[in-house]
Structure 1
Amino acid sequence: MPWKRTAQEVGAVLTTVLTPEDGNWTQAILDRIDKSIKVVAVSTCHWTNGALIDLSLIGKACRDAGCVLVVDATQSLGAMPLSIPEVKPDFLVAAGYKWLLCPYGFSLLYVSEQWRKARPLEETWLARSNAEDFTSLVKYSDAYMTGARKFDVGEKCTPTILPGAIAALKQIKAWGIVNIAETLAAINLTIATHLEQLGFQLPSVTQRCPHMFGAQLPNTFTGNFVAELKKRDIYISQRGNAVRFAPHLHINSHDVNRLKEALGQLVKGNSHNRNTHDIVTARPETK
């Protein structure tokens, strides 16, 4: 909506990249980038099914075409490696409540150096150069803090949010992003392999992220798949026509085996009995 509104205000044309038939979002986006494009706004992966978007290639294409690159990393930051020096986004934003494991109300914004003299999003005294010296607050300052701190949200020192965010980010750092990604990739590969055997349709392993993926139900399945799993204390989400699997590190082999058992019961039993009521428990999804 912000992009649509901005385009209307400045008389720009908003172009949406349609879902590619071959599932290759990276190439579909690259095919639309040329010198007529002023801003490219993309995510690190598709939010419905975890389809991978190669930001390194897109970043290079944007620089070659003179486009501004804006990245929404909400769906992967904290669970998949991301190199700012390699991608070189102009702006990158991420909500904290997903893979960063932070409380609601916390988010991160990266602003590249070339934009740090731009007008801030809001005018808060906490972003002024003398904000940390309370004795000098009566001396009103027109100067902002250096770097990207001028873009900080007002009242950023909320005591009910920051302690939880700091603890979460420290824990992610201790685990290591690469370790998180590799661990979740192994879990998801086991689940994905079983789903394919049951007739689900998935993006190829080269076109999906390590930490989450979506699968389309077999054509023969009828009923509410998500609700049936919920009856078994297994929680996944549905986005459009894809059911999304997004485990985290607390999921172990016992949980995965219970999920596989429940999937088999639902899909195989669906063709014979539309009202399966076996009970399988598993730990809930973290998203």
Structure 2
Amino acid sequence: MIANQRQIFGVPANVVYFNCAYTSPLPEPVLEAGRKALELKRSPWLMTTDVFFTGLEAARQAFASLLGCDADGVAVTPAVSYAMAVAAKNLPLAQDKCVLILDEQFPSNVYSWLKTAPGRVRAVPRPAEGTWSDHVLSFITEEIGLVALPHCHWIDGTVFDLAAIRAACDRVGAHLVVDATQSLGAMPFDLAAIRPDVLAVSGHKWLLGPYGVGFCYVDERWRGGEPLEENWLNREGSEDFSRLTEYRDTYRPGARRYDVGEASNFILMPMAEAALTLVSSWGVENIAAALSRVTGRLALTGEAFGLTPTQASERAPHMIGLKLKHGPAKPVAAAMARENVFVSARAGTLRIAPHLFADDADMTRFSDVLARSLST
């Protein structure tokens, strides 16, 4: 069991922050890595040329270790949208094939497909009966060439059986692209079973890192594709600054060809590595187990006030939706925020996303403030 980590997250005693699906607080080791990186940039005469690669590769390796892949399969990206553009550019999609997404899917995993396959994007609605995963499986037919999904839905934490969806994709010859932003770091991901063609994640939520850093896993079959941009850093031999004008066609190995320009970011890369190392030190399975106990209590609290929680059998361990019977959730979330209790409003659902800093006092305050806010 992981001890409560409130002290390293710096969440004040008078704040209930159940909004990590929006963005996480920076843990102290990540903040300290940022401070050290800023001090180094303040003294650039101390920066040798290897700084362009050491921090970058350390962060890449830390992500690879967390996901359970080789570092050659990881590209560093600034956002999920960038990674999805890489996927759209390099995963072949026949003109008679469609792309399958979810109803109300997060836009970063939608816009590239709308542009790539205009008029051929199909959205799977939430079913009235049965699981959403089973409903997705029923949509994966011969006309589907690519399935682009999250591991869990960003609005209420509904989990999708990506291993079963991968098997269905294999049967019809479809690619599988995964946005793991709302799951990776707080929920186990079985890379060997799911085998995504491309997986993208933004690092500022459950990976506890800074905004503007993301990672993209690319299956070995697609690592020889075409990057979105031609920057000097992703070319072979770029470590030798004295030969940069000996222009060459070959790229650095693996998915590094897909790195965004200036991926070496001297400030963000050390912070990202520190965050990934911290998550790995706790263990994702342990984080999930700890947060599942919290969201289980939140579900009971919601039910006591007449709200409908995401069904337990389909619910992610780390985030939960509490659906209001009538009306939008935004006024309720705003009223809660006025009392320093922070959640997200998504249409008629309150999205609750705690982390390892949640304690019994938070749970009591959440219940009290929710009761007052529902009556406003």
Q: Report if TM-score (shorter chain) is over 0.5.
A: yes
1:4 to 102, 106, 114: 114
How many angstroms does 1:94 deviate by?
0.6
1:202 to 284, 309, 313: 309
Cα RMSD over matched residues?
Answer: 1.8
Q: What is the match of residue 149 of structure 2?
A: 42
Alignment partners' CA distance in 2, 1:109 and 1:22: 34
| CA deviation profile, 1:245-280 (whole Å, cap 9, x unmatched) | 00011111111121122233444xx3xxx4xxxxxx
SS at match of 2:371: helix
Q: One-letter code of the match for 2:113?
A: W
5+ unaligned residues in a row in structure 1: which ranges?
A: 275-287
1:249 to 336, 340, 356: 356
Is 1:184–1:249's contact at 8 Å kept on the other side of the alignment?
yes
Alignment partners' CA distance in 2, 1:165 and 1:197: 39
Is 2:295–2:318's contact at 8 Å kept on the other side of the alignment?
yes
SS at match of 1:260: helix
Q: One-letter code of the match for 1:48?
A: I
Q: What is the match of residue 70 of structure 1?
A: 177
Alignment partners' CA distance in 2, 1:15 and 1:260: 39
Runs of 4+ in 1 over 6 A off after TM superposition: 220-223
The percent identity for this pair of structures is: 39
Is 2:323–2:349's contact at 8 Å kept on the other side of the alignment?
yes
2:205 to 78, 87, 98: 98
Q: How does 1:113-124 map to 2 (within 5 A)?
A: 113-124=220-231
Is 1:23–1:207's contact at 8 Å kept on the other side of the alignment?
no
Change (3 A) 1:73 1:220: closer
SS at match of 2:212: coil
Q: What is the match of residue 318 of structure 2?
A: 211
SS at match of 1:31: helix
How many angstroms does 1:69 deviate by?
0.5
Q: What is the match of residue 278 of structure 2?
A: 171
Q: Are 2:149 and 1:28 aligned?
A: no
Q: What is the match of residue 13 of structure 1?
A: 120
SS at match of 1:34: coil
Alignment partners' CA distance in 1, 2:171 and 2:329: 48
Q: What is the match of residue 238 of structure 1?
A: 345
The count of residues paired between Structure 1 and Structure 2 equals 266
SS at match of 1:41: strand
Change (3 A) 1:56 1:221: closer
Q: Are 2:191 and 1:84 aligned?
A: yes
How many angstroms does 1:83 deviate by?
1.5
How many angstroms does 1:230 deviate by?
1.3
Change (3 A) 1:240 1:76: same
1:137 to 228, 233, 244: 244
Change (3 A) 1:214 1:36: same
How many angstroms does 1:232 deviate by?
1.5
How many angstroms does 1:231 deviate by?
2.0
Q: How does 1:214-229 map to 2 (within 5 A)?
A: 214-219=321-326, 224-229=331-336
TM-score by length of 1: 0.88
Alignment partners' CA distance in 2, 1:181 and 1:126: 37
Alignment partners' CA distance in 1, 2:248 and 2:171: 39
| CA deviation profile, 1:76-133 (whole Å, cap 9, x unmatched) | 1111010111100000001111111111110000000001111122211111111112
Q: One-letter code of the match for 1:20?
A: P
Alignment partners' CA distance in 2, 1:45 and 1:194: 22
Alignment partners' CA distance in 1, 2:327 and 2:143: 45
Higher RCO (C-alpha under 8 Å, 6+ residues apart): 2
Q: One-letter code of the match for 2:197?
A: D
Change (3 A) 1:251 1:23: farther
How many angstroms does 1:150 deviate by?
1.0
How many angstroms does 1:138 deviate by?
2.5
How many angstroms does 1:220 deviate by?
9.3
Q: What is the match of residue 256 of structure 2?
A: 149
SS at match of 1:224: helix
Alignment partners' CA distance in 2, 1:254 and 1:145: 51
SS at match of 1:243: strand
SS at match of 2:215: strand
Q: One-letter code of the match for 2:193?
A: E
Q: One-letter code of the match for 1:4?
A: L
Q: One-letter code of the match for 1:185?
A: S
Alignment partners' CA distance in 1, 2:330 and 2:254: 53
How many angstroms does 1:135 deviate by?
2.5
| CA deviation profile, 1:144-178 (whole Å, cap 9, x unmatched) | 11111111111101112112111111111111101
